[in-house]
Structure formats: structure tokens, C-alpha cells
Amino acid sequence: MDRYIGLDAHASSCTVAVIGPSGRKLQSQVLETNAKALISFLETIPKDRHLCLEEGTHASWLYEVLKPHVEEIVVAGVRQSRGPKSDKRDAFKLADELRVGSIEKRVYQESGGFAALRALSQAYTTLVTDSVRIQNRIKGLYRSRGIATSGRKVYLPASRQAFLERLPGWLRLRGSALYLELDAVNALKKQAAKSLLEEARRHPPYRLLRTCPGLGPIRTAQLLSIVVTPYRFANKRSFWAYCGLAVVMRTSSDWARTQDGKWVWAALQRTRGLNPDLLT
């Protein structure tokens, strides 16, 4: 008989709730956030076991270690909480939503052989974000002193000293530290990009995706690690939209005023990424 299990995971403990096919609450228990403890508990529950947990820090790890011990495992997107809240309530709610099929957003967790590529892609993305933040801090430092910093000249080693000399003496140490931090992160980013591309070239789909117009080597590797397989989408248009290749409508007003003062309907259309017609 089917058993529906909700798992509310935290750093040190997990609350597990079990309900039957009729929605009757059968049991709940607080366990240590430990793979052995969770697996031991699951093995005490009669089959078929259907497990639901919420997306979070532990989701990927829990999906990997618990999947072999259940017939179905679903990772639900984070929801807005309303009303009374507790770990036990959340666990029972996850179990019941899985039972009635009311989970609005399911987070895809399968790696499909791309686990290493996904890890390298995440590392590269993090370093790119850190690099941009440091650059913003550098420009923010100069702008706070009324120094214009348009373009990328402010980041170049050859022009850094000239910019630093325009700062008061008590701010130059901070500027120098930011430049050192930027150089260190950029070196790590370069190495991460190299490792990412080396791993991506080991996968045959990478060479096929590289033939798509507008997709460079880094973007192709990232796309491969995130999508994993296009067959998880209902149709090709859903796949395009997920990849950012679909036409997206953005408008704050469907009416525009002409030069002679008349109001006409003129919805705006924007294209995000590539035009999907290029891929047909």
C-alpha cells in the first residue's frame, strides 16, 4: 500500500511525516540529518514509498542518497508560508501535496552523468558574480569621491596607479586591496573556465550544441549542465523558453501616443536570447 512521506530538512535535524493513501496521518518523527538515520527510517515504512522534500541546501544530497530507497522522490520548489508554521506541519503538508498531486513547482535534480560539469559550472558562475561585485565596489569607491570611471579603463593594471593617486591617502589602501582581490578572483575564474570547457568537451552533446548560432563555449557548457536532457520538457517550445530562447512579451502599457497626440494600441515585443526561428 502506498505511503506518502514529507521531509522537512534542516542543518542538524529532519522532520519526517508519513500519511496513507486516504490522507490519514500515520506517524511523524524527528531524525538527525544523517544519511544512515534517514535510510534506516525509510526502510521501516511499507512500500510503495513516495517521498517529497523542499528545495534547499540539502536537497541535492538528500535526493542522491534517498532515491534508491523510494519508488518516487520529488523536490518541491520553495513556497510562501501562510498561517501557523512548524516543521511537523510542513512535513505533513509536503506529504499531502504529493498524495493529491498539488505540487505546483517540481525542481529537477537528476544529473544524468553531468554531475562534474554542473559543479564546475556553478563554481565558474560564482566566480563571475564575485568578480562583478568587486568591480562594482571599485567603481563605487571612485564615484564616492566624484571621480568619473566610465568604461573598463579603471580596472586595467596600466591605469590603476593613476586612479589611486586621485584618491585621498586614507582611501588608497582600500582601493589597492580591492584591486588585489579582483586579480585573485579573475585568476580563479580563468582556471575555472578552463576546467569547465575541458569537462564539457568530454560529452558528445556539447559538440552538437556548439553548432547553434549565438551559443559560445561557456554558455553551451552551462546550458548542458543545467538542462541535462531536453526530454524532460513537454514540448520544444517549453524547452526554448526554459533556455531563454523564446519570444517574451514585456509591456508596461499597451497604448502609445503618436506625434499628433492620438493614442494607439502598440504592444511592445522583446526577444530574450536567440530567435527560436533560427533553430527550426
pLDDT band at 267 (very low <50, low <70, confident <90, very high): low
Percent of the chain with pLDDT over 70: 89
C-alpha closest to that of 222 among 126, 78, 107: 126
- Say whether both 122 and 192 belong to one domain: yes
Q: What is the CATH number of the domain that holds 36?
A: 3.30.420.140
Predicted pLDDT at 52 = 95
pLDDT band at 275 (very low <50, low <70, confident <90, very high): very low
- Say whether both 71 and 123 belong to one domain: no
Q: How far is CA 269 from CA 63, 151, 232, 239, 272, in A?
A: 40, 30, 28, 20, 10
Q: Is the pLDDT of residue 268 over 60?
A: no
Q: Which domain holds residue 176?
A: 115-232
Percent of the chain with pLDDT over 90: 66
- Say whether both 94 and 44 belong to one domain: yes
Contact between 240 and 279 under an 8 Å Cβ cutoff? The reply is yes
pLDDT band at 213 (very low <50, low <70, confident <90, very high): confident
Q: Is residue 105 part of a domain?
A: no
Prediction pTM value = 0.76
Predicted pLDDT at 269 = 47
- Say whether both 210 and 153 belong to one domain: yes
pLDDT digits (tens, 9 = 90+) for 42-63: 999 998 999 999 998 999 999 9
Last residue of a domain, one of 66, 100, 134: 100
- Say whether both 177 and 120 belong to one domain: yes
Q: Is residue 107 part of a domain?
A: no
Q: Is the pLDDT of residue 280 over 50?
A: no
- Say whether both 268 and 217 belong to one domain: no
- Say whether both 225 and 139 belong to one domain: yes
- Say whether both 227 and 247 belong to one domain: no
- Say whether both 129 and 196 belong to one domain: yes
- Say whether both 92 and 141 belong to one domain: no
Number of independent structural domains in the chain: 3
pLDDT band at 271 (very low <50, low <70, confident <90, very high): very low
Q: Is residue 219 part of a domain?
A: yes
Q: Is residue 46 part of a domain?
A: yes
Q: Is the pLDDT of residue 37 over 70?
A: yes
- Say whether both 77 and 55 belong to one domain: yes
- Say whether both 126 and 188 belong to one domain: yes
Taking the chain, what is the end-to-end CA distance rounded to the nearest angstrom? Answer: 47
Cα Rg of the chain (Å, integer) = 26
Mean pLDDT of the chain: 88
How big is the chain, counted in residues?
280
